Amino acid sequence: MSRWWAGLDWSWGMQDFVVVDQDGSIVRHLRVEESHEGVKEILDALRGLNPTSHRFSRRQVPIAIEDGNRLIVAELRRHRQPVIVIPPAITARYRGRYSAAVSKSDRGDAALLADIIRQNPNRRRPMPETSDRAQAIAVLARTQSHSAEAARVAAIRLRAHLGLYFPAAVEAWAGMQHGLQRVEARAVLSLAPTPRQAATMTKRALYDTLAAAGRTRLRDQEAARLRSLFAEPRLRQRPETEAAMGERARLLLAELDAACREAERLAAETDAAFSAHPHYDIYRSFPACGPRIGARIFAEIGDDRDRFPTAKGLRAYAGTAPITWSSGRSHTVVHRTVCNRALKSTVHQWAFSSLTRSPGCRALYDARREHGDGYAAALRHVANKLLSGLHACLRTGDRYEESVMFRS
């Protein structure tokens, strides 16, 4: 029976669509728009490959593309057409296989994408069947992560600027969680962005500011501490320069305040959306898997149960499974760098937080450290254990149990 493979090279203008046969020869080439008419042309071209056979279906022809987030891909998947995503780095490596003079064209790239999946029919899997709800949660979780990173960067910029003329503000919240991102820190600095203004604030004004910011405990002690800290004699810039630097601090503070508010709002929306998903209770049952960490892990894994047939595949996707380099007498085991970076970072944070919430994770970490592993290597063992448990729970629908996870 004849077989065909297709490639789609996306661009802002026309899309090049190419179909190749078993020999790698181009049998169909179209230039279509990213529209309903363009998708209809592609589907009609696939149906016309073998119109005489009642056993042939267009769904037997996979389509390769470099970016799976495009509207044309969403429309193709809505018609249940299998789509395979090929990273651009892999496409670039294949270009030199066909000729010494490497060239690039939209038609050639589409044919190259189709030929990649023709040569590797069993090594390239279609995009996972992620539900619409799961995809929406993924967008919210990634947006919240980007917003939190923007707030962190804005706080670093503000701290660097305050260090030039207002070091007391840097010291005031340096040892506290979130530092300058705290609501009370932003509230105090918005009223007194310069050391001269801060020195004139009374204890009562500071107390009222802390109360308005939502602080409920030890307000009197905190107001007294800030009053004493701001009143200490320190080196200062000249008055006009200090006032100008205060205006820049107001701008940086406004950026930080906006980023923090958006991160908090998106965190609430993400948790509300994630809590309505059937997998929510499974994720939250794991130690240290809070709403944000759970949502970020779920965003990268999705809810397709067949996406990772084995726990080993999930660990490799997360970057916690090692890679072995063996040649001759050389044998080296190194950590994995080609992986989902966002998932790897989140899983690392998850494993670190679990050390104080799971006796089994802590015992595993201590055992690996005694065995000679470094900090990061020991944490990767903990992450592998947690990911294996998560994979098993998602396959069976059971919740996490410490006694089952760590039997010995």
Domain CATH for 54: 3.30.420.140
Q: Provide the pLDDT confidence category of residue 287 given band limits of 50, 70 and 90.
A: very high
The one-letter amino acid at 298: F
pLDDT of residue 98: 66
Terminal CA-to-CA distance of the chain, rounded, Å?
54
Q: Provide the pLDDT confidence category of residue 200 given band limits of 50, 70 and 90.
A: very high
pLDDT in tens, 131-182: 999 999 999 999 999 999 999 999 999 999 999 999 999 999 998 999 999 9
Closest CA relative to residue 178, chosen from 259, 236, 114: 259
Helix, strand, or coil (residue 324): strand
**Alpha carbons 100 and 78: distance in angstroms, whole number:** 40
pLDDT of residue 402: 93
Q: Judge whether 334 and 325 are in contact, CB under 8 Å.
A: yes
User: Residue 370 half-sphere exposure, CB side, CA atoms within 13 Å?
Assistant: 6
Tell me the whole-structure pTM to 2 decimals. Answer: 0.88
Query: What residues have CB less than 8 Å from 48, skipping those under 6 apart?
Result: none
Query: What residues have CB less than 8 Å from 88, skipping those under 6 apart?
Result: 66
In terms of domains, do 291 and 375 share one? yes
Looking at the chain, how many residues does it have? 408
pLDDT of residue 99: 66
Strand partners for 84: 64
In terms of domains, do 254 and 285 share one? no
In terms of domains, do 269 and 284 share one? no
The one-letter amino acid at 283: Y
Q: Last residue of some domain: 273, 289, 316?
A: 273
Q: Last residue of some domain: 273, 304, 327?
A: 273
What is the chain's mean pLDDT, rounded? 92
Q: At what angle do helices 341-354 and 311-318 cross, to 10 degrees?
A: 100
Q: Judge whether 141 and 270 are in contact, CB under 8 Å.
A: yes
Domain that holds residue 19: 5-127
In terms of domains, do 235 and 320 share one? no
Closest CA relative to residue 221, chosen from 232, 233, 210, 234: 210
Q: Provide the pLDDT confidence category of residue 94 given band limits of 50, 70 and 90.
A: confident
Q: Judge whether 113 and 143 are in contact, CB under 8 Å.
A: no
Task: Tell me which residue has tokens 């279609």.
Answer: 126
- C-alpha torsion sign, points 326, 329, 330, 333: positive
Considering its fold, how many domains does the chain have in total?
3
pLDDT at 2 over 80: no
DSSP 79: T
Higher pLDDT, 55 or 102: 55
pLDDT at 100 over 70: no
Residue 56, number of CB atoms within 10 A of its CB: 18
**Alpha carbons 251 and 30: distance in angstroms, whole number:** 52
pLDDT of residue 55: 86
In terms of domains, do 218 and 342 share one? no
In terms of domains, do 290 and 385 share one? yes
In terms of domains, do 293 and 397 share one? yes
Closest CA relative to residue 378, chosen from 407, 400, 348: 348
Closest CA relative to residue 44, chosen from 23, 28, 55: 28
pLDDT at 1 over 70: no
**Alpha carbons 310 and 388: distance in angstroms, whole number:** 9
Helix, strand, or coil (residue 97): coil
**Alpha carbons 65 and 45: distance in angstroms, whole number:** 17
**Alpha carbons 209 and 86: distance in angstroms, whole number:** 54
User: From residue 308, how far is each of 152, 305, 383 by CA, in Å?
Assistant: 33, 7, 17
pLDDT of residue 20: 95
pLDDT in tens, 299-345: 999 999 889 999 999 999 999 988 888 888 888 888 888 899 999 99
**Alpha carbons 179 and 77: distance in angstroms, whole number:** 45
Q: Last residue of some domain: 100, 127, 154?
A: 127
Q: What percent of the chain has pLDDT over 70?
A: 98
pLDDT in tens, 231-266: 999 999 999 999 999 999 999 999 999 999 999 999
The one-letter amino acid at 312: K
In terms of domains, do 97 and 150 share one? no
In terms of domains, do 86 and 204 share one? no
**Alpha carbons 130 and 38: distance in angstroms, whole number:** 24
Strand partners for 19: 6, 28
pLDDT of residue 227: 96
* DSSP per-residue letters across 257-287: HHHHHHHHHHHHHHHHHHHTSTTHHHHHTST
Closest CA relative to residue 147, chosen from 69, 250, 258: 258
Helix, strand, or coil (residue 28): strand
pLDDT at 102 over 70: no
Q: Judge whether 72 and 8 are in contact, CB under 8 Å.
A: yes
Q: Judge whether 154 and 255 are in contact, CB under 8 Å.
A: yes
In terms of domains, do 247 and 309 share one? no
In terms of domains, do 143 and 269 share one? yes
In terms of domains, do 160 and 68 share one? no
Q: At what angle do helices 291-301 and 132-165 cross, to 10 degrees?
A: 130
- State both tokens at 18: 């190419």
